[in-house]
Amino acid sequence: MGTLFKRVIVVLCLLSVTVFLPLSPLPKVANAFPADMTVLKYGMSNALVMQLQTMLGEHGYYTGNIDGDFGEGTRQALISFQIDHQLVPDGVAGLQTMTILREMAIQPSRDQAPNRIAKQITALARQLRNTPYAWGGSSPGGFDCSGYIYYLFHYFHLELPRMADEQYEVGIPVKRTELQEGDLVYFSTYMPGPSHVGLYIGENAFIHASSAAGKVIITPLNSDYYQANYLGARRVIKGF
């Protein structure tokens, strides 16, 4: 019993020493994410992926459809972005990657060149090409003509009225021979007055949500139908 008692005392002493040893700080983990951070990766499909695709597209990395599906095209675009910004090229949008993308997000200001804003709006417009037409729609899930224009400008914090005839009252008139990228072009289609609107993208073409085509398309401005129904143009980006 004496020997057993001594062994118990030794064990208890060791436990006490273990318990009261000072704890060393845990090493910091690089690129650790907060608990509420959503990591975007291959195979996911949601609105956050759509935002990621839009941001990558704005900077020339992603050229596919803005559909919210994280496929191989999105992964390769993300890897290219990560390489250019000295990030681990793992094709996963974590905290560091998303932070840099958001810091690069365009916030138009008074000292920003108008033609730069116009090009950014046009780039986003092209990324949304083939988005389905939806009557009353004003989101990447589906657009009508004025909802499409409203979304493009609202994305860059440039506010427009929602309806085509109201948008036609904003900005300054522009002659057809003086159109510049980012101008709005209007047509009298299913009803008199400005009932259809598109975004002029240069080279005598405009992009718009077409009910006839059932999606967002690019159309020559001198096509027979739209030339015959052309109403006028407005410039809403100040500074040109």
pLDDT band with cut points at 50, 70 and 90 for residue 105: low
* Domain of residue 123, CATH code: 3.90.1720.10
- Exposed / middle / buried, residue 131 (Cβ in 10 Å: 0-12, 13-18, 19+): buried
Residue 34 lies in a domain: no
Q: Which of 59, 85, 154, 196 is catalytic?
A: 196
208 belongs to the catalytic site: yes
* Domain of residue 92, CATH code: 1.10.101.10
Q: Are residues 118 and 99 in the same domain?
A: no
Residue 23 lies in a domain: no
Residue 112, helix vs strand vs coil: coil
Whole-angstrom distance, CA of residue 124 vs CA of residue 216: 12
Query: Domain range spanning residue 70?
Result: 47-103
Beta strands in 19-170 (DSSP E): 138-139, 142-143
Residue 5: pLDDT over 50: no
User: pTM score, two decimals?
Assistant: 0.57
Residue 27, helix vs strand vs coil: coil
Q: Are residues 119 and 193 in the same domain?
A: yes
Q: Which of 13, 59, 145, 154 is catalytic?
A: 145
pLDDT of residue 181: 93
Residue 13: pLDDT over 70: no
Indicate the DSSP class of residue 131: P
pLDDT of residue 114: 55
By DSSP bridging, strand 142-143 and strand 138-139 are antiparallel
Give me the residue label for tokens 């030794």. 10
Measured CA to CA in angstroms, residue 11 lies from 16, 22, 23, 52 at distances of 9, 19, 21, 57
Residue 2: pLDDT over 60: no
